[in-house]
A and B are shown apart, each in its own frame.
Chain A
Amino acid sequence: MTDRQWTGKTDGTPWMLRSLVWLLKRFDVRLLYAVMSVVVIFYIIFRPSGTKAQYILFRHRLKWSFLRSCIGVYKNHYMFGQVILDRFASYAGREYKIVTDGMEIMEQWMSDEDGFVVISSHVGNHEMAGYSVRRHSKPMYALAFGGEKQMVTDYRRQMFEAANINLFTLNDDMSHVFLIHDALSKGAVVTLFGDRIFGSEKTITAKVLGVDAFLPAGPFAVSVAERKKVLMMFVMKERWNTYHIICKPLVNSLQKYSGNKKQKMQELADNYADTLADIVSQYPTQWFHYYNFWQAE
């Protein structure tokens, strides 16, 4: 496993997480935001690798001043805390206001016979899409990190069932590969992450905010091998009770291709990296990669 492979999971014991859901059923989430505004300071101090990763984003990629970068690091940690609380508030039954951009493309593709790939990213709150999209007869299969706590996975599974979304994990016996192929062959939707490496260690290098980064080859390889179009989906927090779902087709996945697969995968990865950079520029404090993302670092 490389140092760029994701091994993170939700902090806290199952008892603490259940208590959090209990609290969120009884109190306004903003009360817990206030607590979170203090708690994140300890994360900034005692998890220096995550703090450094965020500082690199603000200071070296976005070229912010030293002071603004430090404030950015705090805001990012606080925003991440809010996003985690929002997930648990959803488990507790809270509903968020959703505004959408490009959702009509997804609706159109959902009504088509052909399957497609959705690429999610670790910016904003991608899980919120699963709690907000309307139920379709076309099933969706979403990749979930297998190392997550069982209790969190159970909550997710329960929430996603309502939208006909099935979770799957990466397994050593490669059963996920058969599931992906079978799902796409039958016209279903498969959701994968475009910005974090887990499972296969094969990567594609693409420039994100002007600097080379390793992206997982998987999502792009699936699209090319199965000849399926790709929709990028970002779910960004706008206000305390509002999320913005942004859907954009990966333009070059719509074009028929004949030729070098590697080249096609690179085109897809470059297109995705450009869009990811645009989103980060619009929502700089919602970049949730707390590890060494860029090759140069």
Chain B
Amino acid sequence: MEDLKLMLKQQIIEALNLEDMSPSDIIDDEPLFGSGLGLDSIDALELIVLLEKHYGIKLADPKEGKQIFRSINVMADYVASHRTK
């Protein structure tokens, strides 16, 4: 699970062009949107594409998406149990 979290952080940094950040700057249980990492709707699109491209996960329900993108911990749990590749 720790490897998956690290991989997710690296992929998020790359997808969102967070050039001045390293994986250790992203706290596992910190919110990704709003007060935590400060991501917004444009970044949400990148995360949707990221999950589809790397893990074969197609997100279609906004409510579910909002839950999954709560933090790295939640995202990693979801990826581990739903990935198809």
A residues touching B (Cβ–Cβ < 8 Å)? 170, 173-178, 180-182, 199-202, 217-218, 221-222, 225-226, 260-262
Report B39-53 CB contacts with A as 1/0, cut-off 8 Å: 011101110110000
Chain B neighbourhood of A178, CB < 8 A: 48, 59-62, 65
The residue from B42, B48, B63 contacting A218, defined by CB atoms under 8 A apart: B42
The residue from B40, B44, B48 contacting A201, defined by CB atoms under 8 A apart: B40
Query: How far is B59's CA from A217's CA once the two chains are assembled, in angstroms?
Result: 23
Assess whether B66 is in contact with A174, with CB atoms less than 8 Å apart: yes
A–B Cβ pairs within 8 angstroms, 24 of them:
A170-B41, A173-B66, A174-B41, A174-B44, A174-B62, A174-B65, A174-B66, A177-B41, A177-B48, A177-B65, A178-B59, A181-B48, A181-B49, A182-B60, A221-B42, A221-B45, A221-B46, A222-B42, A222-B45, A225-B15, A225-B45, A225-B49, A226-B49, A261-B15
Count residues of chain B with CB under 8 A from any CB of chain A. Answer: 17
A-B contact count (CB 8 A): 53
Please judge, given known A-B contacts A181-B49, A225-B46, A226-B49, whether A200 and B62 are in contact too, CB under 8 Å.
no
Assess whether A173 is in contact with B63, with CB atoms less than 8 Å apart: yes
Assess whether A199 is in contact with B17, with CB atoms less than 8 Å apart: no
Chain B neighbourhood of A177, CB < 8 A: 41, 44-45, 48, 62, 65
Query: Chain B nearest CB: distance from A143 CB in Å?
Result: 12
Query: How far is B59's CA from A255's CA once the two chains are assembled, in angstroms?
Result: 28
Chain A neighbourhood of B66, CB < 8 A: 173-174
